[in-house]
Structure 1
Amino acid sequence: MTTRAAAGWLPLSPGERAVAIEVLVHGPLSRSEIARRLNLSAGSLTRLTKPLIASGLLIEAAESGEEGESAEVRQGRPSQPLDIVAESRSFIGFKITEDMVYGVVTTLRSDVVARRDRPLPTHTPAEVADLLAEMTEELTRSFPAPAGIGIGVGGRVEKRSVVAESAFLGWTDVPLAELVASRTGLPVVVENDVAALVEAETWFGAGRGLDRFVVLTIGAGIGYGLVLGGSRVASVEDGRGVGRRWIVNPYGPLTPEGERGSAISLLTIPSIRYQVSAATGEDLAYEEILARAAAGDPLSARVLDEAARALGTLVAQIANFAMPQKILLAGEGVGLVDVAGPVVEETILTHRHPQADPVDLETKVSDFHDWARGAAVLAIQVLVLGAGERR
């Protein structure tokens, strides 16, 4: 089974790429502002923008000058700000979980315009690739000729193409990009799901325009991403389960695997459910535990307060050592802050210097479509703009 071919895109030179990214992330921008940001002369900027406008990637946006003023009466170089044609290309992003695949279609500015979810009945790589190809075919019926596909996977990914290790899928050295590309005829990029989410938030979300930024995710696991100088810091530890060795309280609870006091044992949804189940004999959903704690149930409240202290400790440690301008707390588990926010705040203050700057902590309840959008942003960065390659 094949899909429509990807829309063509001429390779960009480093200078063209820099201009395109600046306008994509921060636009619309005037030519003078682009030249100032990139330290370019007016002539160099004109040379770089001409092919971008001719290809349909950039457009001269409507003017925002004084009322009654028009480009025809102005002298010199055109004055209209430049902007990206967001709808000129579409991108597909997938997030693979243990039992589901979540898919989205986005514009060039990562606006989600369509969603498609399917159960994942098997972890056999070829069959997973078949399912992704079927979903791609379904999505392209309404949004033809996508420029590429991004796939986010929990685990370690090499060369943005091979899933080197994914415990929840039981995969080792699976060439997922090749498998999906051969079935769809589209270029494919694969990345660790947390890394993809960090890239999306850096370009289009909470970290936009920030020099130092951190994403901390809590849900089925713990994820961490650091941005310095406006770029994500890649590491060989990406996708290796950092939370298992992040000891928050050495006297804390055990996980079913026997770990004591780690971020995994205190903060993840499965561990919180396990603790409540061990104490009550009830198998409660995470949302039920949050509701019971909010209603004053002492056992649920105790478990969540311990989790909140662990979260506050983590946030304070990150703030102390990475000194970010903002920390984004994301994932399916951030409802913890709604119930035990004061405990989180108190713990942060306890572990910070009294004269330290307040921690700018932003919370975002992320569903799996946000993770899929992150994968689509990777496709935008790598496949189209040639940016963000892992060094």
Structure 2
Amino acid sequence: MTQVELGDSARELAREVLIHGPISRADLGRRLGLSPASLTRLSKPFLDRGLFVETAEAVQGATGRPARPLDVRVDARRFVGIKLTGEAAYGVLTDLRATALAQASRELDGHDVERVVDVIAGLVAELADDGGAALGGAGLDGGALDGSALGGVGLSIGGNVTDQRVVTRAPFLGWRDVPLADLLEARLGIPVDLENDVTALTTAEQWFGPARAHDAFAVVTVGAGVGYGLVMHDRVVTTPDTGLGLGGHLPLDQNGPLCLDGHRGCSTAMLAIPSICAQVGIALGREVGYDEVLELAAAGHPAARSVTDAAGRALGRMMGYIANLTMVDAIVLSGEGVGLWEVAGDTALAALAADRDPEATPVEVHVDAAGFSSWARGAAAVAIQASLARLRLPA
């Protein structure tokens, strides 16, 4: 069957329904600037193929005219998202809205490229099997829509990525200029797309997270390091420096500890898991893990509480800088270290308020507490986004 490439209007329609559905045709027309006739013409191929569905009728307005909002068929394809660290690969199998259907992880036994590819390929096969999905799917750009087919793999990595194909820099793996997408596609036989991990997570929050109603918001990630993402005018902001972790060295506390690069009281020194654990460990005279630090702080232990309170103030100051300089009024907190919010959230909010003009719009703070699952869902969102970009429908 002949396949035709979609125009920009059709892709934007698919994106709006995916993100905001179920959504009325009237709302779609206003969002996209389309007439009812154009909207009907553009949506028909999606409805005919079963990618869109009409939801239950609702009475609209005083005339009682029935409206049938449009939504995507979320089980039309499955996707795998993988977050790659220096120690392990964490993966999820998702539907079209990046809802996790299965989760798994595998440790890395080295950083040799071929061995890492083996681990990733095995993880993809495990997730597909756990979720009843079949390798060899064709994305959304060809073949019958079958929810058991795996439509693509997204992989996020802490470092720099070019054209969603090549890992140009990944310090924790010792990699430079690795054509990872090509290597994985040769093994898996399905599309693979790469992205910087913070950019991928920001994409997931933009499309499917609690701040998606905002066309401008920021993302702050707390974990092994500190990351920062930004959405402006409903687009994720990226630059050639994306992947360098520039948000990790914002000065926050002139009396804080030093980071490994010698910056006193920067965001990494104040908020990253290794630094928090090291500070409490020095006070206690022994090594401590992050979960124990949070448990001690919750119980009121003076040393742990001192460190987490300082971290909370630093986090609030960082959010204040972001809100004041970018003029966003929503911030999403995520990452595997976001459990800090449970013991220092009130302190952070107080610091944020102290750094804002009292008449400024209040900042909404949304906390994504899913940990490594959030990173992997971000990678899946990249695969979903790329699948829409490749979307083709029968002529």
Same fold (TM over 0.5): yes
Name the CA distance, whole Å, in 2 between partners of 1:349 and 1:31: 40
Are 2:313 and 1:309 aligned?
A: yes
User: Contact 2:83/2:156 (CA < 8 Å) preserved in 1?
Assistant: yes
Q: What's the counterpart of residue 40 of structure 1?
A: 34
Alignment of 1:76-225 (within 5 A): 80-141=68-129, 142-144=132-134, 145-225=149-229
User: Contact 2:158/2:197 (CA < 8 Å) preserved in 1?
Assistant: yes
Taking only the aligned residue pairs, the percentage that are identical comes to 44
Q: Give the deviation of 1:349 after TM superposition.
A: 2.4
Q: What's the counterpart of residue 23 of structure 2?
A: 29
Alignment of 1:238-249 (within 5 A): 238-249=242-253
Q: What's the counterpart of residue 3 of structure 1?
A: none
> What whole-Å deviation, never above 9, does each CA across 1:187-216 have from its counterpart, x for those lacking one?
110001111111111111122121211110
| Partner-residue secondary structure (3-state), 2:6 | coil
Which of these residues, 370, 374, 391, is aligned with residue 374 of structure 2? 370
Q: What's the counterpart of residue 51 of structure 1?
A: 45
C-alpha spacing 1:79/1:259, structure 2 compared with 1 (3 Å): closer
> What whole-Å deviation, never above 9, does each CA across 1:241-267 have from its counterpart, x for those lacking one?
224431112332123453322111111
The Cα RMSD (Å) is 2.2
Worse-superposed segment, 100-109 or 190-199: 100-109
Q: What's the counterpart of residue 300 of structure 2?
A: 296
Name the CA distance, whole Å, in 1 between partners of 2:363 and 2:250: 20
User: Contact 2:11/2:388 (CA < 8 Å) preserved in 1?
Assistant: no
Q: Give the deviation of 1:227 after TM superposition.
A: 0.7
Worse-superposed segment, 307-316 or 78-87: 78-87
| Partner-residue secondary structure (3-state), 1:260 | coil
Q: Give the deviation of 1:46 after TM superposition.
A: 2.1
User: Contact 1:58/1:82 (CA < 8 Å) preserved in 2?
Assistant: yes
Name the CA distance, whole Å, in 2 between partners of 1:262 and 1:277: 19
**What is the identity, as a one-letter code, of the residue corresponding to 1:104?**
V
Q: What's the counterpart of residue 279 of structure 1?
A: 283
User: Contact 1:99/1:120 (CA < 8 Å) preserved in 2?
Assistant: yes
| Partner-residue secondary structure (3-state), 2:319 | helix
Q: Give the deviation of 1:33 after TM superposition.
A: 2.9
Q: Give the deviation of 1:36 after TM superposition.
A: 2.6
Name the CA distance, whole Å, in 1 between partners of 2:298 and 2:25: 53
> What whole-Å deviation, never above 9, does each CA across 1:43-82 have from its counterpart, x for those lacking one?
222221122222221123332248xxx9xxx8xxx95332
Q: What's the counterpart of residue 5 of structure 1?
A: none
Q: What's the counterpart of residue 348 of structure 1?
A: 352
User: Contact 2:89/2:106 (CA < 8 Å) preserved in 1?
Assistant: yes
User: Contact 1:105/1:112 (CA < 8 Å) preserved in 2?
Assistant: yes
> What whole-Å deviation, never above 9, does each CA across 1:212-237 have from its counterpart, x for those lacking one?
11110111101101111111111222
- For structure 1, the 5+ residue unaligned runs are 1-7
The number of residues matched between the two structures is 372
- TM-score normalized by the length of structure 2: 0.88
Worse-superposed segment, 256-265 or 369-378: 256-265
**What is the identity, as a one-letter code, of the residue corresponding to 2:12?**
A
Name the CA distance, whole Å, in 2 between partners of 1:342 and 1:33: 37
Q: Give the deviation of 1:382 after TM superposition.
A: 1.3
| Partner-residue secondary structure (3-state), 1:173 | coil
Q: Give the deviation of 1:15 after TM superposition.
A: 1.8
Q: Give the deviation of 1:381 after TM superposition.
A: 0.7
| Partner-residue secondary structure (3-state), 2:176 | strand
User: Contact 2:81/2:376 (CA < 8 Å) preserved in 1?
Assistant: yes
**What is the identity, as a one-letter code, of the residue corresponding to 1:359?**
V
Name the CA distance, whole Å, in 1 between partners of 2:345 and 2:97: 33
